[in-house]
Amino acid sequence: MYESVHAHPDGQSTVARMALTASEAGYDGIVVRNHGDAPAPYDPETIRETYDIDVVTGVEVRTDDPSRASGFVGNHREKQTIVAVHGGDPTMNRFAVEQPSVDVLAHPMAGDGDFNHVLAREAAENGVRVELSFRHVLRRDGGQRVQAIRGLVKLHELLTHYDTPYVVTGDPDSHLHLRGPRELAALGEEIGIPAEDIEAGLAEWETLAERNRARQSDAFVEPGVWLGSRHDDE
C-alpha cells in the first residue's frame, strides 16, 4: 500500500523524512504530489535505496482555469508518474473527470466543491481516480470534523454505487501527520467505511504507478499496443 504526500516546500517535511516515516508505518511506497508551483527537490533512487521504500514522482495541478489546467496536465504528463488535479471548484471537478490523461481528482469536496452521480459516471468512464481524503477528518475538530466525516462517507457511497475508481490518503504535509494503513483502516471502520475499501484505495496508488511507469517505457505505443513482448495494460 502507498500513501501520497506533500513534501517541503509544499509541506513541512522533506521527501526523505516522509519516506522514512512511511516505511516505519508499514507503507511500501509514497507518491510525492506537490502542487506544480512548489516542486520538491529530491532524488527518488537515493531515497528508495536508503529507506527501502518506493518513491513515485507526481504533481497536483492547481488552477481555477480549465484551459491552463489542460496545458499543465499536458506538460507534466510525460515527466511525472502520477498527475492529479486540485479539485473542490465545480468547474475543476468536471474538467478533471473528463480527462483520461488525469490520474486523480484530488479532494473533490473541498471548499464549496460538490461531487454528484454525473461526475462519478464520467470519472468511471475515463478511468480517473477520485480521492477519498482523510485530511480534515484527522486534523479538524468539532463541527468541521463532523462535516468532513459526513462528506467523506457520502462520497464513498457515491463512488461505490457507480463503481468509480478511487484512491485513499491521509494527505499528510508533515511526517507528524502521516498515519499508517492500519490506522486509516480503523478510522474508516469507525466512521462507516469498510477497512477493505480503505486498503484498496491505498493500494490503488501503486496500481496507478505501475501502469504509468509501464506506459513511460520505450516499449509502450498506446493502450493495448506494445513493441516487442506483450504487456498487460490495466
**pLDDT (mean) for 5-21:** 97
Domain membership of residue 170 (yes or no) is: yes
Residue 232 lies in a domain: no
Alpha-carbon torsion 42, 59, 224, 201, what sign? positive
Looking at the domain assignment, is residue 136 inside a domain?
Answer: yes
| pTM of this structure | 0.89
**Total count of domains within the chain:** 1
Q: How much of the chain, in percent, has pLDDT values that exceed 90?
A: 85
Per-residue pLDDT band for 233 (boundaries 50, 70, 90) equals very low
Task: Please indicate whether residue 114 or residue 185 has the higher confidence score (pLDDT).
Answer: 185
234 is a domain residue: no
Helix axes 90-97, 66-77, angle to 10 degrees: 40
**Which residue segment(s) compose the domain that 52 sits in?**
2-226
Helix intervals (H) in the chain: 15-25, 44-51, 66-77, 90-97, 117-126, 135-139, 142-161, 181-191, 195-215
C-alpha cell at 221: 505505443
**CATH number, residue 166:** 3.20.20.140
* Domain annotation covers residue 233: no
CB 226, CB 73: distance < 8 Å = no
| Mean pLDDT, rounded, of the chain | 92
Q: Using one digit for the tens of pLDDT, what is the confidence trace for 57-95?
A: 999 999 999 999 999 999 999 899 999 999 999 999 999
State whether the Cα torsion 184-157-111-142 is positive or negative.
Answer: negative
